Amino acid sequence: MRRSFTILRGLLAPVMLLAWVVVAQAEEGGSSAEQTLGNSFKWIHFVIIAIAAYWLFKKKLPPYFRHNADKITADITKATAAKAEAERLLKEAATKLTSLEREVAQFRDQAQKDSAAELERLRGMGKLDIEKVGVAANAEIEAAERAARWSIRRKDGRSRRRPWRTSISATSTRR
C-alpha cells in the first residue's frame, strides 16, 4: 500500500507536466494525424522517462538513503552516549558540590575550635609570662635592696673602721 502511494507520488509531477503540454498543444490546433502521432511519441517518451525514474528511485537511491539513515542513526547514538556521560558528570559534580559545602562547614567548625584553643593557649602563656615578669621584677627589687643595704653597710663599715677620717674631717672643718 505504501509502496503504491510512493510510486503515485513519483509519477504525479510528470503526468501533470504531460497534461499541461497536451492542453497547450490542443489550443494551438493542427491536423488530427499529426496530433495522434505526436501524442504517441509523447506517451512513449513519458513511459521511458517514468521507467527510468522508477528504476532510479527503486535501485539507486535506496542504498544512498539507507547509508544516510545509518549515518544519522550512528550520530544519534553517539549524541545519546555523550548526553548520558554529560549527565553522569553533572550528577557527580553536584554530589561533589554538596559534599564540598559539608566539608567547608566542617573545616570552618574545626578552625573555630582550633582558634579558640589557640586563644586559650596564648592567654595561658600570657599569664605565665606576666608571672615570670613579676617574679623577675621582685627578684630585681630584692637584688637592688640587697645592693643598697650592702652599699649602706659598706659606707657604715668604712666609717667605723676608720674613725680618724671622720674625726679629721670633723676637726678640719672646725678650725
Give pLDDT tens digits for 15-34.
Answer: 777 777 776 666 665 556 56
Radius of gyration of the chain (CA): 61
Taking residues 68-80, report their average pLDDT: 95
Compute the mean pLDDT over every residue in the chain, rounded to the nearest whole number.
Answer: 81
For residue range 33-67, list pLDDT tens digits in order.
566 777 778 888 888 898 888 888 888 888 888 99
Indicate the range of 13-17, 91-95, 168-172 predicted with least confidence: 168-172
SS (H, E, C) 32-95: HHHHHHHHHHHHHHHHHHHHHHHHHHHHHHHHHHHHHHHHHHHHHHHHHHHHHHHHHHHHHHHH
For residue range 107-146, list pLDDT tens digits in order.
999 999 999 999 999 999 999 999 999 999 999 999 999 9
Grid coordinates representing 128 are 605565665
User: Which residues lie closer than 8 Å to 15 by C-beta, 6 or more apart?
Assistant: 46
Is 10:53 a contact under the CB 8 Å cutoff? yes
